[in-house]
Amino acid sequence: MKAARQWSVRHAAGLDRLYEAFAHVAPFLRPLATFVGSDRAERALTPIERGAKNLMFDCRMCGACVLRKTGMACPTNCGKAMRNGPCGGVRADGGCEVDPATRCVWLEAREGMRAINSRDAAPPSLPPIDFSRQGRSTWIRVIEGAPAPEQGPAPPPRERPVHAFEAACRSGRFVTTVEIAPPDSADPSALLARAEKFAGLVDAVNITDGAGGNCHMSSAAAAAILAAHGHTPVCQIACRDRNRIAVQGDILGAAALGVRNILCLTGDDVSQGDHPQAKPVFDLDAINLLRIARDMRDKGEFASGRKLETPPDLFIGATANPFAPPYEDRIDNLEMKIDAGAQFIQTQFCFDLDLFRRFMDGVRARGLHDRARMIVGVGTLSSVKALRWMAHHVPGVHIPDSVLVRIANADDQKAEGLAILVETIQALRDIEGVAGVHLMGHRNEATLAEAIVQSGVRA
């Protein structure tokens, strides 16, 4: 099946011309479909369509076929059901985060898109799947002339209060944020104690949402606790565990409890976490989640179109990974997220400054740093062993050998990791378009706080 799918990508241009011919002939079949009835015509077409598409594209019959827009690579083959480009966990060899033996379907999609359009067209912006049509024919829609679902225009920004973290990002000064995992406890005291270590050192505390597929207190609840105790939280909203109904409910609930900042992300694969038997949801990808959050805020309505009584006041963020393939597509993906509503961007760990500088060249060339604040992920762990484990087991994390060798050869590996972190923060501060840094390191709060002090970014 994979061989046929790859053949289809290689011959995407010819298959695209074949579809054009079908689309040209299809209107002539409309009277026949009308005569026999739409339902009967669809019942006759569906098994033929299913067999042909399954053979050629490993199709899952989502009912919202976009093969022409994705280079004849079916995005339903993505392990995270990504609709708008690759996730940040693509492995160094191009393997899928969920199934390393399978090549990322979005690498195949870009190859097919280039075959269809030699001008290297940007990837499309696709709406979420309408699951009410799953298993149904799309050929009948072409015959009947039904319009393809499209994204609506972005609403104008709504006048709303500007809260602390957004104000800091707008100020033009270098901002700092830190990431904290919620506790494995119904007692919030440990969470508050860890957050207190960064009092006066950071502009916001980012609360993870089941990072790595591991279960903790919910990000929304932990963020609300921090907000109630005078901290400025960023609540992560991941698509992995919730459908579009649940994520909208969480956004509203967090906002009602004083949370003003959210970070929209697709989420890590469950297989590497402590609940590998769990069913991943992935009803949305991060780009469609961004659109929904933006529309809740600016249009004052749910994704269904139903009106909200009071829209949430939100500063909306997204993630980017400049350090994972396909490198040339990461700027396109970033621009799509900003178009969808992202106002700040948090990147994956930056250990490779040269690679990041090249990424920022592309960001500045498109003026994306003027449209969203670029906050770069930095951090360290306590030993080279821990860093090597992270580099090999956390998809999307890239640590150059030079960094690992330097820490391995140090008499005090923890101190050397701190020194590299401080140097990295100071170097990032000098890169045009970088608005701040986001510090990460599991249960490593003291070191991260010391790095902020030593780097001088809060002077």
Residues 132-164: tens digit of each pLDDT: 999 999 999 999 998 887 787 889 999 999 999
Could you tell me which residues come within 8 angstroms of residue 92 by beta carbon, excluding any fewer than 6 positions away?
Answer: 324, 325, 398
- Rounded Cα gap, residues 324 and 196, in angstroms: 33
- Rounded Cα gap, residues 347 and 46, in angstroms: 43
Lowest-pLDDT range of 82-91, 145-154, 249-258, 398-407? 145-154
Whether 405 has a pLDDT exceeding 90, the answer reads yes
Whether 120 has a pLDDT exceeding 70, the answer reads no
| φ and ψ at residue 64, rounded to 5 degrees | -140, 60
Whether 409 has a pLDDT exceeding 70, the answer reads yes
- Rounded Cα gap, residues 236 and 224, in angstroms: 12
Q: Of 353, 373, 357, whose CA–CA distance to 435 is shortest?
A: 373
The architecture (CATH level 2) of 164-455 comes to Alpha-Beta Barrel (3.20)
> What is residue 272's predicted lDDT score, i.e. its pLDDT?
85
The burial class, CB within 10 Å (0-12 / 13-18 / 19+), for 29 is middle
Whether 249 has a pLDDT exceeding 80, the answer reads yes
- Chain-centroid distance, C-alpha 93: 20
- Provide the pairing of β-strand 434-440 with 204-207: unpaired
Whether 337 has a pLDDT exceeding 80, the answer reads yes
- Rounded Cα gap, residues 44 and 58, in angstroms: 21
Task: Name the pTM for this structure.
Answer: 0.95
- Rounded Cα gap, residues 196 and 299, in angstroms: 36
Whether 295 has a pLDDT exceeding 90, the answer reads yes
For residue 176, what are the β-bridge partners? 437
- Rounded Cα gap, residues 349 and 369, in angstroms: 18
Helical axes 12-25 vs 105-116, angle rounded to 10°: 70
The answer to whether the beta carbons of residues 58 and 1 sit under 8 Å apart is: yes
- CATH code 3.20.20.220 region(s) in the chain: 164-455
Q: Among the residues of 65-200, which ranges form H helices? A: 105-116, 139-144, 164-171, 189-196
Whether 117 has a pLDDT exceeding 90, the answer reads no
Q: Among the residues of 213-320, which ranges form H helices? A: 219-228, 244-256, 286-298
| φ and ψ at residue 366, rounded to 5 degrees | -100, 0
Could you tell me which residues come within 8 angstroms of residue 400 by beta carbon, excluding any fewer than 6 positions away?
Answer: 351, 352
> Could you give the dihedral angle defined by the CA atoms of residues 183, 187, 189 and 195, in that order, rounded to the nearest 10 degrees?
30
Instruction: Name the residue with tokens 């590299």.
Output: 420
What's the number of CA atoms in the CB half-sphere (13 Å) around residue 88?
A: 26
The answer to whether the beta carbons of residues 398 and 323 sit under 8 Å apart is: yes
Query: Which pLDDT band, with edges at 50, 70 and 90, does 425 fall under?
Result: very high
> What is residue 393's predicted lDDT score, i.e. its pLDDT?
87
> What is residue 119's predicted lDDT score, i.e. its pLDDT?
60
Q: Of 273, 305, 307, 319, whose CA–CA distance to 87 is shortest?
A: 319
Vertex 349 angle, CA 293 and 262, to 5°? 15
Q: Of 23, 375, 385, 406, whose CA–CA distance to 234 is shortest?
A: 375
Provide the mean pLDDT of the chain.
Answer: 94
> What is residue 1's predicted lDDT score, i.e. its pLDDT?
61
> What is residue 148's predicted lDDT score, i.e. its pLDDT?
80
> What is residue 150's predicted lDDT score, i.e. its pLDDT?
78
The answer to whether the beta carbons of residues 450 and 407 sit under 8 Å apart is: no
Q: Output 148 or 225, whichever has higher pLDDT.
A: 225
**Model confidence pLDDT, tens digit, residues 27-78:** 999 999 999 999 999 999 999 999 999 999 999 999 989 999 999 999 999 9
> What is residue 406's predicted lDDT score, i.e. its pLDDT?
97
Length reported for the chain: 459
The answer to whether the beta carbons of residues 188 and 196 sit under 8 Å apart is: no
Whether 299 has a pLDDT exceeding 70, the answer reads yes
> What is residue 159's predicted lDDT score, i.e. its pLDDT?
94
Whether 459 has a pLDDT exceeding 70, the answer reads no
> What is residue 147's predicted lDDT score, i.e. its pLDDT?
86
- Provide the pairing of β-strand 261-265 with 233-238: parallel
- Rounded Cα gap, residues 341 and 440, in angstroms: 24
Residue type, 457: V
